[in-house]
Structure 1
Amino acid sequence: MTSLRSALSFAAAIACIASAPALAQALTPAETAQIDRIVAKNLASSGVPSASVAIVRGGQIVFARAYGRQSETTPVARDDAPYQIASISKQFAAAAILLLQHDGKLSLDDTVSKYIPDITAGDTISIRQLLSHTAGLQDYWPQDYSFKAMATPVSPQGIIDRWAKKPLDFTPGTQWQYSNTGYVVAGLIVEKISGQPLLDFLKARIFTPLGITAYDQDRAIGPGFPQGYGRAALGPVRPVTPAAPGWLFAAGELSMSARDLAKWDVARIDRTILTPEDWKLQETPVKLADGSSNGYGLGVSTGATGGRRYVEHSGEAVGFLSENIVFPDEKAAIVVLTNSWSGNATGAIEQAIAKAVLPPPPADAADTAALARARAMLDQLRTGALDRSLMTEDSNYYFTDLTLGDYKSSLAPLGKPVSFVQTGKTRLRGGFVNRNYKVHLGKKDFVITTYAEPGDKGRYEQFLVAPAVS
């Protein structure tokens, strides 16, 4: 399953990816030491017992390491230990469907009733809608805890009988609502068409070719495997009881190491295993009937932040949280797996690693040019030599001789800017382009708020300099 907690962790992680100097692809000793500090700090502050981390840069796995206490009986963390990756498994189930479609054995637009009988509105729900969470089937595990029925073993058919035969939550294709139930149905379709258990199909077509060791999480329990932990509020961190067998299936049944999950990320970057067309299909947001989309494709979330595209999914199993994010254009990926479903260590670790090892997002050419113009304008105000042809009528009205004199007398003694960076996003307002900057002059910080006419030579309607609020 995926959770609000995991979603918020991811949102924080991608929002805080920051600029860093251009880097060689291999990690430097300093970067490796920094990652060690990042993980140690977040495990200590959160109480999460352990983490397994892998990093892809330049299309290659450049880092894989495990930390902390993986179980009560594991003296040293192993980087090949398989953590439960939960809903990250969904992209593999979706990939199985795409492989079967490529083989000509089914179509994403086939209805569910063609393969699985007695599902509510099965004659109107498509396989594509199952994989994109737009089918309307009620989710059987929305909770962030193991509910009562999960103490008893279940089969995929048992889940379908209890949840997939209820009235739909909405007409298929009209809304998006995360549904583990839909993936259980999709997994049964894979098994029916392929004639194999889902995990066997995945091993034959994906895991063995990529050298990935994957387990059914129901069997990745006990000596030699990471233990899941939890915490109630600020209480002690305690081992948790795994769910009884059968509860995740295609919705999240896989366990693997961070390194092995990173091998899949490399396949995504290189467009191997699946055809380039099928990779693109998985990463294309599915649209609702009204034409809207939240960016979810077939088992993955997609989007862009700071000029950088990403393909992502998080996961939550009983006692485990996980995050996997790929930046296709940079040929980079970060995997963070933890053995506690309490706290925010997973997102905090990823956020800090992204800041430490990823190159800056590509600069926007218009913003880069505007920053140079803004810096030159500040120099004019510092010296009192204002080129009024660069200002609009209103801006020239504002900059009286007295105002210009105040700018010169107060700013000139501080010298040239030590730093000059844009803050926030460029936006339109009142027919002008708004950009804001933070500037360090002397020992003081200032904010500059600008409005300019559109275009690379647009005149300034506003150029205000004010002390930054500390």
Structure 2
Amino acid sequence: MRYPTLLAAIAFIAPAPLLAQALTPAEIQKIDILVGKTLSDTGVPSASIAVVRGGKIVLTKAYGKQYEGQNGPADPKLPYQIASVSKQFTAAAILLLADEGKLSLDDTVGKYIPGITDGDKITIRQLLSHTSGLRDYWPQDYSFKAMATPTTPQGIVDRWAKAPLDFQPGTQWQYSNTGYVVAGLIVEKVSGQGLLDFLQARIFRPLGIRALDQDKAVGPGFPQGYLRHALGPVRVETPAAPGWLYAAGELSMSPGDLAKWDVVRMDRRLLPAAAWAVQESPVKLTDGTSTNYGLGVSVGTQNGRRVVEHSGEAVGFLTENIVYPDDKAAIVVAVNAWFADAQGRIAKGVAAIVLPPAPANAEDAAALDRARQVYAQLQAGQLDRALLTEDAAFYFTPATIADYRTSLSPLGAPTRIEQAGKTRLRGGFVNRSYRVTYPTRSLRISTYAEPGANGRIEQFLVSPVE
């Protein structure tokens, strides 16, 4: 028995997160080309990225000019300002306190912070889900006049959280940095610690994450922000005065460190599993409409995949952090410019490189798993006839199975099996085709199966293809 070939074939049918997921040299080269072209096209000076695949960080890499006077290559360990990606950490702090019984998500804001407009009606949950009605203090995509002067969380609260509400709590969704400033003050009031001190003790140090106050992550040795007016020259940006982001976006960290948090999210560690579920559950408005936003994260689907995502904008910086929980994958992209769409373009391109094509729906996903399973069985010459209809069982005689085994087994485990083309109905069966890829050749699988996720196979034919 050729154990290496058989074991490789059997391993191939395991769910993708269980497989070896290291990036190949070809994949890294594609990422390098993608990032280089994006920076060239947009004029963005630098990008730093991290990739998680199979539940592990498989790449951290930086490109371009991170600051004026840089000598040598870009450093992926440098902390970029992640801005609103910080919100999920503020929400995590609240969830930790809630788990300890020190507060409830449905407590009103007025219980902890006096003077907030309608503080007796707004709940902590509404602060974290952007449904509070509190007016956003920074809707602009530039530094407004007051940001040239230092401020404090209380200063933000006094000017914006005591203004009339934009709507009644829970009736609309509107992004509000102000709500997160109030949430940060609640963390400090309940825990007796500064917000960043609490996060360092409860999250960052236990996970080995180097996180800094972005107001202090400036100067020599730190990435420098850049701006561009229309299509004019790229210029060094002037940082905002201290205090303006706080709980709404005060953190600086490397993409690699942010990716550590993404892995913890996938593994359901540090926070109780129930708390993770609450953070990733879309909050509904009073009329039952989904906001597609949980507590500090956007939630939804992209190209058939479940995603947990948040972007960030600081003065001179943009960040994209997207987690694919079911694929055990994540992509982090940070750039030191707040113009163009480099971070989104890179994140989308990297996803296309490192993730397999997503099945269109759950039945297609189940059928793909079954196709991989049957292919591996045929390579091993051990076909499970319970998967077959009467006609398919008739087709697969011992001689047929022997031909499949002797011709397919020497090929070893395929590089990939993926659905090719659309799912169709014909003759009462569901028709799907798959492409089997090897380094030097490709094969086609043509299948018919009974409808339903567990429908038996009527046809499973393998043939060469260009």
Same fold? TM cut 0.5 = yes
Distance 1:251 1:323 in 2: 16
SS of match in other structure, 2:215: coil
> Given the alignment of the two structures, is residue 70 of structure 1 paired with residue 79 of structure 2, yes or no?
no
Alignment map for 1:148-297 (pairs within 5 Å): 148-297=145-294
Residue number in structure 2 paired with 1:351: 348
Residue number in structure 2 paired with 1:407: none
Alpha-carbon distance, 1:370 to partner: 11
Equivalent residue letter for 1:343: A
Distance 1:217 1:171 in 2: 33
Alpha-carbon distance, 1:420 to partner: 9.8
Alpha-carbon distance, 1:365 to partner: 6.4
Alpha-carbon distance, 1:75 to partner: 1.7
Alpha-carbon distance, 1:47 to partner: 0.5
For these two proteins, the number of residue pairs brought into alignment is 372
> Residues 4-30 of structure 1, C-alpha deviation per residue, up to 9 Å, x if partnerless?
xxxxxxxxxxxxxxxx9x984001111
> Residues 336-371 of structure 1, C-alpha deviation per residue, up to 9 Å, x if partnerless?
000000111111111111001112223536569999
The answer to whether the 8 A contact 1:73-1:223 is kept is no
Alignment map for 1:252-401 (pairs within 5 Å): 252-364=249-361
Residue number in structure 1 paired with 2:12: none
Q: 1:110 to 1:455 in 2, by over 3 A?
A: closer
Q: 1:110 to 1:365 in 2, by over 3 A?
A: closer
The answer to whether the 8 A contact 2:19-2:54 is kept is no
Residue number in structure 2 paired with 1:44: 40
Residue number in structure 2 paired with 1:124: 121
TM-score normalised by length of structure 2: 0.75
Alpha-carbon distance, 1:307 to partner: 2.4
Distance 2:360 2:292 in 1: 23
> Residues 442-464 of structure 1, C-alpha deviation per residue, up to 9 Å, x if partnerless?
xxxxxxxxxxxx999xxxxxxxx
> Given the alignment of the two structures, is residue 28 of structure 1 paired with residue 24 of structure 2, yes or no?
yes
Structure 2: gaps of 5 or more residues: 1-15, 369-417, 425-430, 434-450, 454-466
The answer to whether the 8 A contact 1:118-1:165 is kept is yes
SS of match in other structure, 1:218: helix
Distance 1:148 1:216 in 2: 22
Distance 1:311 1:368 in 2: 20
The answer to whether the 8 A contact 2:79-2:217 is kept is yes
Alignment map for 1:2-151 (pairs within 5 Å): 24-76=20-72, 77-151=74-148
Q: 1:367 to 1:279 in 2, by over 3 A?
A: closer
Equivalent residue letter for 2:347: E
The answer to whether the 8 A contact 2:359-2:419 is kept is no
CA-based RMSD of the aligned residues comes to: 3.0
Residue number in structure 2 paired with 1:398: none
SS of match in other structure, 2:351: helix
Alpha-carbon distance, 1:37 to partner: 1.0
Of the structure 1 ranges 105-114 and 360-369, higher mean CA displacement relative to structure 2 is found in 360-369
The answer to whether the 8 A contact 2:262-2:323 is kept is yes
Q: 1:368 to 1:66 in 2, by over 3 A?
A: closer
Equivalent residue letter for 1:104: G
Alpha-carbon distance, 1:123 to partner: 0.4
Distance 1:316 1:81 in 2: 17
Q: 1:198 to 1:365 in 2, by over 3 A?
A: closer
> Residues 53-105 of structure 1, C-alpha deviation per residue, up to 9 Å, x if partnerless?
00000100000011110000322311110000000000000000000111111
Q: 1:58 to 1:366 in 2, by over 3 A?
A: closer
> Residues 113-167 of structure 1, C-alpha deviation per residue, up to 9 Å, x if partnerless?
1100000000000000000000000000000000000000000000000000011
Q: 1:25 to 1:151 in 2, by over 3 A?
A: same
Distance 2:419 2:150 in 1: 61
SS of match in other structure, 1:104: coil
SS of match in other structure, 1:37: helix
The answer to whether the 8 A contact 1:79-1:258 is kept is yes
SS of match in other structure, 2:309: strand
The answer to whether the 8 A contact 2:108-2:123 is kept is yes
Distance 1:181 1:322 in 2: 20
Residue number in structure 2 paired with 1:378: none
SS of match in other structure, 2:222: coil
Distance 1:281 1:345 in 2: 31
The answer to whether the 8 A contact 1:69-1:75 is kept is no
Structure 1: gaps of 5 or more residues: 1-19, 372-418, 427-434, 438-453, 457-470
Distance 1:370 1:299 in 2: 35
Distance 2:325 2:132 in 1: 28
Equivalent residue letter for 1:182: G
Distance 1:322 1:241 in 2: 18
The answer to whether the 8 A contact 2:106-2:125 is kept is yes
Alpha-carbon distance, 1:246 to partner: 0.3
TM-score normalised by length of structure 1: 0.74
